Copies of this chain bind each other. A is one copy, B any other.
Amino acid sequence: MFYQQIIKGSIKFVILSILENREVYGYGLIQAVNRQTKGFFEWRQSAVYTTLHKMEKAGLVKGKWRPAGIARKRKYYHLTDKGRQLLAANRTEWLAFSKYMNKLTANT
């Protein structure tokens, strides 16, 4: 029950983690993740934008448009309290999941 949520929501979990310390916009998230994983995570725009919209609808993040003129038009997101709570829960679940995965799939 728990871990399936994590699995399916790995994008969500990573987004929550990145937003913990700073505001980020969708396109920036994609670039940050693809760069930090050296292209191993091939995040698609469609997946990230729809996930952000869903997360905002669920009250996990809040987005606001940066005033145009200053720079390119961007929608910056930040965490809500609910988002921080889910992040904490996800961290615990991820630890358990990865521990068990390592145990179950160990090369003997």
Contacts and interface: CB of A to CB of B under 8 A. Distances in A.
Contact of A7 (B7, B90, B102): B7
**Ranked 4 nearest A-B pairs via Cβ:** A17-B105, A37-B100, A14-B104, A1-B42
A49 interface: no
A33 interface: yes
A12 to B, nearest CB: 11
Contact of A18 (B3, B41, B104): B104
B3 A41 contact: yes
A77 interface: no
A37 B105 contact: no
Contacts of A105: 13-14, 17, 90-91, 94
Given A7-B7, A7-B10, A10-B7, A41 B100 contact: yes
26 contacts: A2-B40, A7-B8, A7-B10, A13-B105, A14-B101, A14-B104, A14-B105, A17-B104, A17-B105, A17-B106, A18-B104, A33-B104, A36-B100, A36-B103, A37-B100, A37-B104, A40-B96, A40-B97, A40-B100, A91-B105, A91-B107, A94-B101, A94-B105, A98-B98, A98-B101, A98-B102
